[in-house]
């Protein structure tokens, strides 16, 4: 599929990274054609998704990488969609760049990010009940972390009520590369969801083993390599999906979303206690729909006051932020443009960014081996 390149040209192009995989174009064999002559260069790149939205960004990067040899107007880059056999070949090349431990994980049906020296932090965004804005929080926190320069994945594990692809504005399905599923990219976030495999109005009527199998596939078969953060939009409550995630991703950390309403706080508390029983650390609380502020600056606490603070006190963690009710926040979820993208100066956007900054500053949780306890 790929052309043998002049060593100097290969060295230059190997610095250009394919954004879905985080692997350079040369290692993936995506430089299908390169021809130099008459002070110009023409390059054909294999596209692993259809449509291939990073096209323009890659054109700019390739031209920049060749700037020592060619001016921008002398670099012509075209893209060609790959057929199934060519995509399988790219998948084989993805496997070649895995470490020994990562290959062992695949054989044992464990996620790539679960190797012992992994720097990936897995954040479970949880709530006890639906309707508190958990998915909206997961999407906007993911975008905020991406804006901080982090490589971010978002797994929509709310199997019964999947909504993340629409809220994030994903425009194309995942790619299958030789057994690996590569998540699509939208607004700086790599996303995987049951919503890619079912129509919006199709209900999921599955028992526990089927759910466990689907989650295993999303965690193991998806190319989750090299991520700084993977956020998991947990289903509300404490059912089969939450238990399966606790077993498959033991080194995760939980962030609980609630509203100021006392009833919502009490239900959220149950989901937090379930995580504690599975020995998953609770790191913080996010209070959503905390207040509504008029253009004149008046605040109305529509859903009451103090639920987030009370829950954080009960769980002995910090209240990381209080996100207000805003029309652009609601509208963004409907049209696939998160408020952190559409209106970064809004109060809600700034609050999400502050929460993301706190999560980064906290660092991963400390973990202690039980056998090392002093008795």
Whether residue 91 is annotated as binding a ligand: the answer is: no
Whether residue 132 is annotated as binding a ligand: the answer is: yes
Contact, 60 vs 75, CB < 8 A? no
Whether residue 146 is annotated as binding a ligand: the answer is: no
Tokens of 316: 């002995």
Contacts 24+ apart (CB under 8 A), 30-35: 30/2, 30/90, 31/2, 31/3, 31/5, 32/1, 32/2, 32/3, 32/80, 33/3, 34/3, 34/5, 34/6, 34/9
Contact, 237 vs 160, CB < 8 A? no
Whether residue 22 is annotated as binding a ligand: the answer is: no
Whether residue 130 is annotated as binding a ligand: the answer is: yes
49 three-state secondary structure: coil
Contact, 20 vs 48, CB < 8 A? yes
Question: What is the DSSP annotation of 235-247?
Answer: PSSSSHHHHHHHH
Whether residue 133 is annotated as binding a ligand: the answer is: yes
φ, ψ for residue 321, nearest 5 deg = 180, 160
Contacts of 140 (CB under 8 A, 6+ apart): 329, 338, 339, 340, 348, 349, 352
Whether residue 305 is annotated as binding a ligand: the answer is: no
Contact, 362 vs 253, CB < 8 A? no
The single-letter DSSP state of residue 281 is P
Residues linked to residue 292 through DSSP beta bridges, in sequence order: 300, 325
Tokens of 103: 């290959």
Whether residue 135 is annotated as binding a ligand: the answer is: yes
Contact, 54 vs 21, CB < 8 A? no
With tokens 């926040």, the residue in question is: 329
Binding positions for ATP are 128-135
Annotated binding site: 128-135
């Amino acid at each position: 599929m790929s052309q043998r390149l002049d060593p100097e040209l290969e060295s230059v192009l190997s610095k250009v990274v394919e954004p879905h995989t985080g692997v350079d174009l040369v290692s993936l064999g995506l430089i299908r054609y390169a021809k130099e002559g008459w002070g110009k260069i023409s390059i054909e790149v294999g596209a692993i998704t259809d449509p291939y939205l990073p096209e323009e960004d890659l054109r700019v990067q390739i031209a920049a990488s060749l700037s020592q040899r060619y001016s921008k107007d002398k670099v012509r880059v075209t893209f060609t969609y790959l057929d199934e056999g060519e995509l399988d070949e790219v998948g084989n090349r993805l496997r070649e760049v895995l470490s020994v431990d990562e290959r062992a994980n695949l054989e044992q049906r464990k996620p790539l990010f679960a190797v012992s020296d992994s720097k990936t932090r897995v954040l479970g965004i949880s709530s006890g009940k639906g309707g508190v804005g958990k998915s909206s929080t997961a999407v906007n926190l993911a975008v905020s972390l991406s804006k901080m320069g982090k490589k971010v994945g978002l797994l929509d594990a709310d199997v019964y009520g999947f909504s993340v692809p629409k809220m994030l504005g994903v425009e194309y399905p995942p790619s299958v590369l030789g057994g690996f599923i590569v998540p699509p990219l939208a607004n700086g976030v790599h996303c995987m969801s049951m919503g890619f495999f079912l129509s919006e109005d199709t209900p999921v009527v599955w028992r526990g083993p089927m759910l466990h199998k689907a989650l295993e596939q999303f965690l193991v078969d998806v190319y989750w390599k090299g991520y700084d953060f993977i956020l998991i939009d947990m289903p509300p409550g404490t059912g089969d999906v939450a238990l399966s995630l606790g077993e498959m991703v033991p080194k995760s950390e939980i962030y609980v979303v609630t509203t100021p309403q006392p009833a919502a706080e009490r239900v959220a508390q149950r989901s937090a206690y379930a995580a504690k029983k599975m020995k998953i650390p609770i790191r913080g609380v996010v209070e959503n729909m905390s207040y509504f502020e008029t253009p004149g600056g008046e605040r109305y606490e529509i859903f009451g006051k103090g639920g987030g603070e009370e829950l954080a006190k009960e769980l002995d963690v910090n209240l990381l932020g209080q996100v207000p009710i805003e029309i652009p926040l609601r509208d963004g979820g409907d049209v696939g443009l998160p408020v952190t993208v559409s209106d970064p100066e809004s109060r809600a956007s700034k609050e999400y960014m502050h929460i993301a900054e706190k999560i980064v500053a906290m660092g991963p949780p400390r973990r202690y081996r039980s056998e090392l306890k002093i008795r």
